[in-house]
Amino acid sequence: MKKLMNDAYTIENDMFSGYAELYKDKIERIANTGIFVSRTKKKQVAVISGGGSGHEPADVGYVGEGLLQACAMGPVFIPPNAEDVYKAIKAADQGLGVFVIVKNFEADVKSFMLGIDLALNDGHEIEYAIVNDDCSVESDSYKKRRRGVAGTVLAIKVLGAAAFEGKNLKELKELSETLILSINTLGVSLAPGILPTEKNPMFELSDEMVSYGVGIHGESGYRQEDYHSSAVLAVELWNKLKSQGDLKKDDEVAILVNGMGATPQMELMVFYNDLRQLVELDNVKISFVKIGNFMTSLDMKGVSVSCLKIKDPMWISYLNMEVDGFGW
Amino acid sequence: MKKLMNDAYTIENDMFSGYAELYKDKIERIANTGIFVSRTKKKQVAVISGGGSGHEPADVGYVGEGLLQACAMGPVFIPPNAEDVYKAIKAADQGLGVFVIVKNFEADVKSFMLGIDLALNDGHEIEYAIVNDDCSVESDSYKKRRRGVAGTVLAIKVLGAAAFEGKNLKELKELSETLILSINTLGVSLAPGILPTEKNPMFELSDEMVSYGVGIHGESGYRQEDYHSSAVLAVELWNKLKSQGDLKKDDEVAILVNGMGATPQMELMVFYNDLRQLVELDNVKISFVKIGNFMTSLDMKGVSVSCLKIKDPMWISYLNMEVDGFGW
């Protein structure tokens, strides 16, 4: 499978140039980096996030009023280095501190923690949250993986809006703790993606199978099974999410149905139509829903469902607040 | 390649149900049809469009204030029947007439013309435009194909905004005539899509080739060539568009870079970065640009570039006007 690219080793830089030019009125790229800073400067706690490239529109698409004040992106599937995290913090800080949202992957956590250390030494006030919404399990140990995946977008939306509304660092930290415990995500691949540097897909998957529990870095899932239909897939995902999220009759949820990069909207919509019927049958109320490509994995064909159990009606207001990032 | 679907023969209906539920506050589906009507009723000339399914977010994503007041969608790659076109006209008409935007495909033109006849007999005032932006050529005769493809989205945006601003039927007709002559589109496939009813791709394309001049119904192009890079592709497309659109130094253009369904944003952005450099080198001014999936072809991987030569500064205002359709 061919890609629209020129050189696998400059692909992220070519893309950063494209974004910087296209959205120059709204975001500023720090030259020669994957750091993007919002041009709107409001006196508020700045919220930032970031990670490797290959997940577009994440994270650059979430830089803007009411979302992130900056993001730091690295090469494909590789987090930005600590120095870039530090630079993003410095560029975003309006004097009221910076809240950092990190996806739970070993390399990401390491880079971001080092970057935060540099910023703390420099006198910035910082709090952070590590999003670990993936509730799939390891094939061998059955331990939950708890990687940070598409649910991160819901965390960015809620925390970004709360910061915009004037919450201070401590309040954001408290909010993040309840929030992150309330998000569960499960992903399924129908066809693996391919790294720009490689010719072959990131894992093997026959034309009749799907892979449950895939990550956003092309990781294969915990189980491959025959693919039957969108409806059967929806049943399996919803049952798992319901039990992981301890969802009962009359509970309220926000749902994000996320395409992994190569899933057309037609198919996402068919799948959502199956999913929502199951949710309604269980008398769980969908108070917010969003469908599209939000946290992708290169050109993987697949879908993930993130389910946020609503524990505070303010979360719905935060999710509904008008914001400015092009990816939302 | 698997699809998120249940039955190839109900896929559009399942999708329509999903859209109807998801956007119920903004659009209303006429039961058991692919007709969607905006819930906002403004006293203006109503603009409608439509066509087969498989091009999402077109056309339902363009129903909303400042865009279309209704759309009529058919099964995958099959236009709505004349009766549905008529129903959409009837539902949209606020007493000031209806302007109908049709994509130039034989079956579409036939259905829409019959539907318009039914509506005229019923006393509706109607004008229409047939968009024929595709400037690729037939393999044998070298005649231009002039199908209606992604440039239709630019036509919908400009005419929708003009109608919202109060233009009457005659003025819209005049505007459409200049506008449509000013739009050229060229598409390239990196990998063909697959019909829901079929197991095999719609045409053959080796892993090293791309197909120039593809349509939005999975039609193969006029020439297959070795694929080199995004930059080489951008050169070829820009040179053609420049000559077809008679573009010279200091001309202004609006550009739509359109993914065909399975193209990740990363790749669209890399391609845009190449394209814009060529446009700038020619001293052609990009006054408006939009990048994403707007007029897709199921799960085809590919890209099309639509180029609208700006002949009236109002067109830029119309393109920039805030509107409400979820697909824009």
Averaged pLDDT of chain B: 96
Q: Please write the tens of the pLDDT for every residue from B65-93.
A: 999 999 999 999 999 999 999 999 999 99
Q: Specify whether B217 is catalytic.
A: yes
* A322 CB neighbour count, 10 Å cutoff: 8
**Residue B89 and residue B98 in contact, taking contact as beta carbons nearer than 8 Å:** yes
- ipTM score: 0.96
Mean pLDDT of B263-274: 98
Q: Specify whether A55 is catalytic.
A: yes
CB contact under 8 A, B15 and A266: yes
Percentage, residues of chain B above pLDDT 90: 94
- Both tokens assigned to A315: 């979360």
Spatial neighbors of B94 by CB under 8 A, at least 6 apart, are B41, B42, B43, B44, B46, B69
CB contact under 8 A, B1 and A301: yes
| Residue pairs between chains A and B whose CB atoms are closer than 8 Å | 163
What does the pLDDT read at residue B85? Answer: 98
Mean pLDDT of B171-188: 98
Active-site pick, A29, A157, A217, A301: A217
CB contact under 8 A, B299 and A301: yes
Q: Report chain B residues whose CB lies below 8 A from the CB of A269.
A: 14-15, 18-19, 22, 56
Q: How would residue B143 be classed by pLDDT, with cut points 50, 70 and 90?
A: confident
What does the pLDDT read at residue A155? Answer: 98
Q: Report chain A residues whose CB lies below 8 A from the CB of B296.
A: 264-266
In degrees and rounded to multiples of 5, residue A30 shows phi and psi of -75, 120
* Exposure letters A125-146 (e unless 16+ CB within 10 A, then b): bbbbbbbbbbbbbeeeeeeebb
Task: Report the half-sphere exposure of A242 (CA within 13 A, side-chain side).
Answer: 21
Q: Please give, rounded to a whole number of angstroms, the shortest distance from the CA of A57 to a CA of chain B.
A: 7
Place of tokens 């269980």: A282
A95, with CB counted inside 10 A (0-12, 13-18, 19+), is: exposed
CA end-to-end distance (rounded Å), chain B: 28
- Taken in order B82, B175, B245, B301, the sign of the CA dihedral is negative
Low-confidence ranges of chain A (pLDDT < 50): none
Query: At residue B28, does pLDDT exceed 90?
Result: yes
Mean pLDDT of B30-35: 98
**Residue B327 and residue B64 in contact, taking contact as beta carbons nearer than 8 Å:** no
CB contact under 8 A, B15 and A57: no
- Both tokens assigned to A66: 């009411």
| pTM for this model (two decimals) | 0.97
Q: How many residues does chain A have?
A: 328
CB contact under 8 A, A56 and B265: yes
Q: Nearest residue of A to residue B1 by CA position?
A: A207
Q: Please give, rounded to a whole number of angstroms, the shortest distance from the CA of B148 to a CA of chain A.
A: 20
Q: Please write the tens of the pLDDT for every residue from B237-253.
A: 999 999 999 999 999 99
* DSSP string for B223-283: EEEE---HHHHHHHHHHHHHHHTT--TT-EEEEEEEE-BS--HHHHHHHHHHHHHHHHHTT
Spatial neighbors of A103 by CB under 8 A, at least 6 apart, are A49, A51, A130, A131, A147, A148, A149, A152
Q: What pairs with residue B134 in β-bridges?
A: B185
Q: CA gyration radius for chain B? A: 19
For residues A282, A310, A186, A73, the Cα torsion angle rounded to the nearest 10 degrees is: 160
Q: Please give, rounded to a whole number of angstroms, the shortest distance from the CA of A172 to a CA of chain B.
A: 30
Q: Please give, rounded to a whole number of angstroms, the shortest distance from the CA of B157 to a CA of chain A.
A: 18
Q: Please write the tens of the pLDDT for every residue from B195-212.
A: 999 999 999 999 899 999
Higher pLDDT: B143 or B262? It is B262
Query: At residue B322, does pLDDT exceed 90?
Result: yes
C-alpha span between B14 and B3 (Å, rounded): 13
